[in-house]
Structure 1
Amino acid sequence: MCVAIPGKVVEIRDNKAIIDFSGNQVEAYIGLVNVKVGDYALVHAGCVIQTMKQTEAEEIAELMGGLAE
């Protein structure tokens, strides 16, 4: 099973976004979805697949944190 996780877009460079996942920053391709700095986005397999509201992203992150415990 694969899981898409939410992060915050902190920078955009060409066709990639720098996404912050609780302090870990990674690059993700943004060709599928139009994003801007400050958006919360779901990332799967190195690609942004959806933007979402901050509250939704926080709920998912909380659920994922509970699974890790």
Structure 2
Amino acid sequence: MCLGIPGEIVEIKAGHDDLAIVDVVGVRRVINIGLLDVDQTGVGDWVLVHVGFAMSKIDEAEAAATLTLLTGLGQAYTDELQALAESDIS
């Protein structure tokens, strides 16, 4: 199963406006934000992450609700977090 997981942008990579570091429940990874309007996306924004890409920008309340729902999925959510932790697009 493939899931989109909410993550908070904590840094935009210098010299790479299409790359950001996101925090997903304590796991920090570089993701591509090039599919979003980079002029309207910045540190503190929440995005829905799938396969190393930010697919959409979401608000904090939607992020919290989605994380609650995903936690209830059990092993599928755990597997997705593990895949994120092991990924590296930098």
What TM-score, normalized to structure 2?
0.72
- In structure 1, which of residues 33, 36, 49 is the aligned counterpart of residue 36 of structure 2? 33
Aligned residues: 69
Greater share of residues in helix = 2
Greater share of residues in strand = 1
- In structure 1, which of residues 40, 44, 50 is the aligned counterpart of residue 50 of structure 2? 44
The aligned runs of 1:16-31 (5 Å cut-off) are 16-31=19-34
Matching residue of 1:3 = 3
- CA RMSD of superposed structures (Å): 1.2
**Partner AA of 2:28 in structure 1:** Q
Q: Provide the C-alpha distance between the structure 2 equivalents of 1:32 and 1:66, rounded to a whole number of angstroms.
A: 28
Identity value in percent: 39
Q: Provide the C-alpha distance between the structure 2 equivalents of 1:66 and 1:17, rounded to a whole number of angstroms.
A: 28
Matching residue of 2:88 = none
Where does structure 1 differ by over 2 angstroms across 4 or more consecutive aligned residues? none
Q: Provide the C-alpha distance between the structure 2 equivalents of 1:67 and 1:2, rounded to a whole number of angstroms.
A: 12
Who wins on radius of gyration, i.e. which is larger?
A: 2
What TM-score, normalized to structure 1?
0.92
Q: Provide the C-alpha distance between the structure 1 equivalents of 2:11 and 2:29, rounded to a whole number of angstroms.
A: 10
Matching residue of 2:70 = 64
**SS in structure 1 at match of 2:2:** coil
Q: Which runs of 5+ in 2 are unaligned?
A: 76-90
